[in-house]
Structure 1
Amino acid sequence: MKLAFLTALALCFLAANSLLTRAGVLDGTDPLAFAAIRVAAGAAMLALLAARRGITLTGGRRWGAATALLVYLLGFSLAYRSLDAGLGALILFATVQIGLFALSLLRGEKSGPIRLLGMGLALAGLVWLLLPGGDLQTDPVDALLMVTAGLAWAAYSFAGKYEPKPLAGSAGNFLIATLMMGATIPFWYGAQVTGFGALMAVISGAVASGLGYAMLFRVLPLMGVATSGVAQLAVPVIAMVAGAILLGEWPTARAMAAGGLVLTGILLAVLRQPMSNSKGS
């Protein structure tokens, strides 16, 4: 019961990042400034959580993981200039899963025909989402930015599989990414930041990201690969439903059909994933 509750809460936190970012950017806050506030708030929360056990700031993968985190944060925030919260979450989630699948293939992991079929369906659904025309109009630049964010998050998640101390490593990654964010200051210094947008960024960083990631890293090792993969299917669904209710961003028929294809494909893939891997993405 406790595991189910923590899992549901973590998934809601992850979905909330899309809603909070979209709401903050819609309110007029500059996306890069939003990302800067978010990563700083996340770093502060994770540092607080990891203080007793120590924060890992060194290691061969630390700068690579922090760079992937920074690319994700920037692409994610910029993409929500035009993407609806639910659509952005769906593009992100599909890209992350496809990216992780591609990385597993590059590492020589075996995949059966059902898993290959599932990833093929997910990729087809993603392409359908990104194609222009019809009742679904997406800005190609922002859609590409969300795909980039998804690939960066896949790389960050993959690096996290080999993190001996997930919480300490995550705190280190966020702290380094906060320092690296300083390089973007010339692009957003003096940009508009509304009070509501700043509040959304702090909640996204400290609660939805900091607490959410810490909670997710705690529950995923207790779940099988298939179970964790299926559970994470709920993230874009939660974001899409909440976006419709809270932001009035109702998905189009094409978005729902393409999203269904993506989720069905990923469901097939994760259910057929080799159980020798003990952790989810």
Structure 2
Amino acid sequence: MRLFLLVSLVMVAFAANSVLNRMAVFGAGLDPEWVAVLRLGAGAVVLLGLTLALQGAQSLRISPKVVVVGMATLFLYIYGFSIASGLIDAGVGALVLFGSVQITMFVGAWITRERLTRWRLIGAALAFAGLVTLLLPGSSDAHIDPAGVGLMVLGGIGWGLYSLNGRGVRDPLAATALNFTLALVLALGWLAASGDPGQGQAWGIWPALASGAITSGLGYALWYRVLPQVPASLAAIAQLSVPLIAALGGALLLAEVPGPRFWISATLVLGGIALSLKKS
């Protein structure tokens, strides 16, 4: 039960990221590279502070290979996600993101020869069918921008690889702190290369900072902590609940109200998750 509650809390944090970034990039009109810097910077400050206060500087001595892979895959996710957040609705964006995550993590589970039970495969197929149902042509639930979908797929691949990398980390808090700090360097390079960012309304800074410090920084640290206890395939399926939470958040905060097709998709996704939890 404790593990279930922790995973549920992480899924809520992930969904909040979709809504908060949509608010900053689309709602306030901030440049995506600026939002990425704010998000990674706030997360780095919080995570480094917690790491130094709770564990000391010696905990930051982590395998360079793990840190470099974590930095690169985190930035890949941030890059695709930040731009796509301004192009597609929060709920649809989360669907595309975590559909891509699922594929990436299932491929990772297959490569590492993790045992995939019959019910887990059936559950994954049913849940993915729910995603396809929502994204079928003719849906009135949301506008779907092809460029936004492509960038969100890129972000999903990055997040899937980041999650797989996190399964081998012994100190999730310190690793996440280092990942955010080093990915911030890449984001600052992106910001410098973009020319003259600075569009948008000032209030958009706050959801970007909240996304970095709370739902990203603390949420990712908790995710890294629970990942070793969760099979890669099951972690992929659990993340399919995020789009449903994000869509509800988008409806409440952004007036992006889902239509009937959303609820059909929700039934398939949640049913698939339920089936995947069967042990045999």
Check whether TM > 0.5. Answer: yes
Q: TM-score, normalised by structure 1?
A: 0.84
Q: TM-score, normalised by structure 2?
A: 0.84
Separation in 1, partners of 2:111, 2:255 = 41
Displacement of 1:226 in angstroms is 9.3
Decide which moves more: 84-93 or 151-160. Answer: 84-93
Write the deviation string for residues 139-195 of structure 1: whole angstroms up to 9, x where unpaired. Answer: 011012112211111100000000121111111111110111133121253331431
- The aligned residue for residue 247 of structure 1 is 254
Change (3 A) 1:189 1:39: farther
Separation in 1, partners of 2:279, 2:233 = 7
Separation in 1, partners of 2:3, 2:167 = 20
Aligned: 1:120 with 2:140: no
Separation in 1, partners of 2:253, 2:259 = 16
Separation in 2, partners of 1:155, 1:224 = 14
Write the deviation string for residues 98-121 of structure 1: whole angstroms up to 9, x where unpaired. Answer: 321121012222323332223333
Amino acid at match of 2:210: I
Separation in 2, partners of 1:15, 1:227 = 18
Change (3 A) 1:193 1:10: same
Secondary structure of the corresponding residue to residue 61 of structure 1? helix
Q: How does 1:145-156 map to 2 (within 5 A)?
A: 145-156=151-162
Separation in 1, partners of 2:210, 2:13 = 10
Change (3 A) 1:126 1:9: closer
Separation in 1, partners of 2:4, 2:125 = 30
- The aligned residue for residue 168 of structure 1 is 174
Decide which moves more: 236-245 or 122-131. Answer: 122-131
What is the number of equivalent residue pairs in this alignment? 273
Question: Alignment partner for residue 74 of structure 1, among 56, 74, 79?
Answer: 79
- The aligned residue for residue 12 of structure 2 is 12
Secondary structure of the corresponding residue to residue 60 of structure 1? helix
Separation in 1, partners of 2:270, 2:96 = 11
Does the CA-based 8 Å contact 2:164-2:232 persist in structure 1?
Answer: no
Write the deviation string for residues 175-233 of structure 1: whole angstroms up to 9, x where unpaired. Answer: 11011113312125333143111111111101111122223444556778899777655
Does the CA-based 8 Å contact 1:13-1:209 persist in structure 2?
Answer: yes
Write the deviation string for residues 223-257 of structure 1: whole angstroms up to 9, x where unpaired. Answer: 78899777655433322212111211111223332
Question: Alignment partner for residue 98 of structure 2, among 93, 97, 118?
Answer: 93
